[in-house]
Structure 1
Amino acid sequence: MASRILFILHIPPPINGAALVGKYIKDSEIINTRFETQYVNLTASFSLEKIGKGGIEKFKHIFDIVRNVVKTLKQNKYDLCYMTLTAKGAGFYKDFVIILLVKLFKVKIIYHFHNKGVALNSKKWYNAMLYKYAFKNTKSILLAPSLYKDIEGFVSKENVYFCPNGIPEYATLNTFEDLEKGDIKPCKFLFLSNMMRQKGVLELLKACSLLQKQHLKFECHFIGAWADITEAEFNSTVKKYQLEHIVTFHGKQYGEDKVAFFETSDVFVFPTFYHNECFPLVLLEAMQFGLPVITTDEGAIGEIVLNNETGIIVKQQDVDSLAEAMLKMLKAPDIRKKYGAMGKKRFAENFTLAMFEKKMEAILTKALNN
């Protein structure tokens, strides 16, 4: 008889890394065939604007989640509970209630982290007490070894598994064309993420303004949902730097529309300094489409993008460093092509969805047997 696993995880909306991975697991033929599965959606905020905020509607969603977990635990006996634990803040306190319920029913727990903040948050004594209880007799899944330092104060390494994220594969085109001498085709930079300050949106606009002063031919395309940067602020910044003929915002793009942007761009730029950044799926997308990447060393990004091999890693919030990397890519199509090809190869060897599903199946099997 197959082992029974209760998955308590995030599922879109909204669309973010944790929710997408949750959907991949829920839809996984490998996992659902190997185990007897049940799913509970842990999402309490169904739009980007409401993440991290309270309100009557959100408390109702939380109450519904708790009630659903209780009902599910009463109806079935589970061998393991998989849970995408929020590392800190209000989300952690909400998740802690779920942890209490699961432990009350004496079900083994394995956490899967898509964010970080345990080390910093545990400096408050009451949080340290909660973490100590939450991690006791549990296993954890991290996206990369470099993220272990965030939980090492509460979890021994033998109770930790490492599983990099993976994404579906597309039949991609060769993004790069050999540029003949005299070709004046502008270099196309692409940014794709939620329009948040900590994703480096304003730094990228400033870097574009520096490049523009050198009278270089390039374009910068932005894709994403408005978050703490509003449409009015973005447009006023573009106007301030006189980038109207260089910068274009395309809103949210999905499916084939999004694919078209990857296939027609030359360089992917992601100058994030977001405090929760761990393993951005968008970098995997860019790599599988053969795009060289300009990004920062936040979370486990340094284990995705290899500096001066598949892209360039720049200092966070350093506009000059960002502009310098963009200039290098702009002036050297041969380097773009080389880094892009190496990134595409690295993606195929490490970050496909099929690889992720197989690793996740193996980890869950080990957790059940230990």
Structure 2
Amino acid sequence: MKPSILCILHLPPPIHGAAVIGQYLHDSKSFNDTFDCHFINLTTADSLQDIGKGSFRKLWTYAKLLFNIAKSTKRYRPKLVYITPNTKGIGFYKDFIVIQLVKLSRRKIIVHFHNKGVEERQGKAFDNFLYKRFFNGIKVILLAKSLFQDIKKYVPMEDVYICPNGIASPLDEVNISQHHTNTPKLLFLSNLLIAKGVFTLLDALKKLKDCNCHFTCNLIGGETTEINSEKINQEILSRGLNHNVFYKGSKYGKDKEEEFAAANIFVFPTHSDCFPLVLLEAMQHKLPCISTIEGGIPNIIDDGKTGFVVLKKDPDVLANKIKYLLDHPEERRIMGENGYKKYEQQFTLSHFENNIIRCLTKELFNN
């Protein structure tokens, strides 16, 4: 008989890293063949613009969520409850109540963090009070060992599992012949948030343009309350980059694959991240990656081998690394090949499925 697991996780919409991984688990044959799974969607937002906003509809959705959790823990009596909570802010306060509700049922709990921020907030008396109760008696899955720093005040390392994310292969074979073009093409792909470093990228690209570097850059991603299409186009124009940088909106499926296939370099100068799936996608498409020393990113990019990691919010260093790859096409090809090999060895969906099954199985039989 398969052990019963109640999975309280994010499912799209909206589309973001935690929701993508949640959908993978929901649809995974190996995961569902191993466990008797019951799924509850932790998401209360309908869109990216809806995240962080309060409304009567969201309050009602949250009330129904709590009722569903209470009913499911009683009905299914799961051996383990797997939850993907937020680490800070309103999202954490909401998920804190979820955790306390599950604790009342005396079920074993394991949380899987797809974001970070505990260390940032632990100095606040109220948050520290909640964190102590939140982490008491539960186990934690992190995406990289380097992320332990974020929670080490509350959780010993022996209560932590490490499980890097993985992604599915594209539905169609990727045509990489377009990588070799006269004018190198840069690609940035993320929801339009200041914390994803899109303005830092624009500042770096202005420096490159002022040095007469030849390039184009496509910005791909959904509009948010912080940055809409009008705002991003204004920022592009104000830097004189309107002939080099183009905002293309959201892209999914084949359209997104074509953007990766047409690019030569992937740039993601995020200020706040955990383990960005988009870097795995770029490696999957044999692109050298430039990102930041942030979260688990140094565990994804091997600096100088599969790309570069740079300091956050430093357009000068970012511009220098981009220029190096613009000037060295053979080096970027080699880095792209190295990145693809690392993706194949560590970050495929099957690797992730095997790792998460291993973590949950070990916890199920850990007395």
User: TM-score category by the smaller chain?
Assistant: over 0.9
Residue 303 of structure 2 is aligned with which of 303, 307, 311?
A: 307
Matched, 1:323 2:319: yes
| Alpha carbons of structure 1 residues 136 and 259: separation in structure 2 relative to 1, 3 Å | same
Secondary structure of the residue aligned to 1:38 is: strand
Secondary structure of the residue aligned to 2:140 is: strand
1: CA distance between counterparts of 2:105 and 2:208?
Answer: 60
1:136 Cα deviation (Å)? 1.9
Q: 1:172–1:288: 8 Å Cα contact kept in structure 2?
A: no
Matched, 1:32 2:32: yes
1:176 Cα deviation (Å)? 6.0
Q: 1:176–1:266: 8 Å Cα contact kept in structure 2?
A: no
Gaps of 5+ in 1: none
Residue 186 of structure 2 is aligned with which of 186, 189, 195?
A: 189
Residue 119 of structure 2 is matched in structure 1 by 119
1:27 Cα deviation (Å)? 0.7
Residue 359 of structure 2 is matched in structure 1 by 363
2: CA distance between counterparts of 1:364 and 1:4?
Answer: 11
Residue 349 of structure 1 is matched in structure 2 by 345
Residue 334 of structure 1 is matched in structure 2 by 330
Q: 1:84–1:111: 8 Å Cα contact kept in structure 2?
A: yes
2: CA distance between counterparts of 1:125 and 1:325?
Answer: 41
Tell which deviates more after alignment, 124-133 or 193-202: 124-133
Q: 1:8–1:41: 8 Å Cα contact kept in structure 2?
A: yes
Residue 273 of structure 1 is aligned with which of 271, 274, 277?
A: 271
Structure 1 residues 218-240: Cα deviation after superposition (integer angstroms, max 9, x where no partner): 11001001121122221122222
Q: 1:174–1:290: 8 Å Cα contact kept in structure 2?
A: no
One-letter amino acid of the counterpart of residue 361, structure 2: T
Q: 2:229–2:247: 8 Å Cα contact kept in structure 1?
A: no
Residue 206 of structure 2 is matched in structure 1 by 209
Q: 1:176–1:337: 8 Å Cα contact kept in structure 2?
A: no
2: CA distance between counterparts of 1:234 and 1:216?
Answer: 22
1:213 Cα deviation (Å)? 2.1
Residue 175 of structure 1 is matched in structure 2 by 176
Q: 2:178–2:262: 8 Å Cα contact kept in structure 1?
A: no
1:249 Cα deviation (Å)? 1.2
Secondary structure of the residue aligned to 1:164 is: coil
Matched, 1:285 2:286: no
Q: 1:161–1:363: 8 Å Cα contact kept in structure 2?
A: yes
1:178 Cα deviation (Å)? 9.1
2: CA distance between counterparts of 1:172 and 1:295?
Answer: 26
**Aligned sequence identity (%):** 43
1: CA distance between counterparts of 2:136 and 2:18?
Answer: 23
1:143-162 matches, cutoff 5 A: 143-162=143-162
One-letter amino acid of the counterpart of residue 329, structure 1: L
One-letter amino acid of the counterpart of residue 143, structure 1: L
Residue 60 of structure 2 is matched in structure 1 by 60
Q: Structure 2-normalised TM-score?
A: 0.96
| Alpha carbons of structure 1 residues 137 and 178: separation in structure 2 relative to 1, 3 Å | closer
| Alpha carbons of structure 1 residues 216 and 128: separation in structure 2 relative to 1, 3 Å | closer
1:195 Cα deviation (Å)? 0.9
Gaps of 5+ in 2: none
Q: Structure 1-normalised TM-score?
A: 0.95
1: CA distance between counterparts of 2:164 and 2:73?
Answer: 29
Structure 1 residues 125-166: Cα deviation after superposition (integer angstroms, max 9, x where no partner): 332232222222211100000001111111111111000000
Residue 16 of structure 1 is matched in structure 2 by 16
Residue 233 of structure 1 is aligned with which of 214, 231, 234?
A: 231
Q: 1:172–1:263: 8 Å Cα contact kept in structure 2?
A: no
Q: When the two structures are aligned, how many residues end up with a matched partner?
A: 364
Q: 1:194–1:224: 8 Å Cα contact kept in structure 2?
A: yes
1:172 Cα deviation (Å)? 4.4
CA RMSD of aligned residues (A): 1.5
Residue 257 of structure 2 is matched in structure 1 by 259
1:253 Cα deviation (Å)? 0.5
1:193 Cα deviation (Å)? 0.2
1: CA distance between counterparts of 2:251 and 2:159?
Answer: 39
| Alpha carbons of structure 1 residues 310 and 174: separation in structure 2 relative to 1, 3 Å | farther
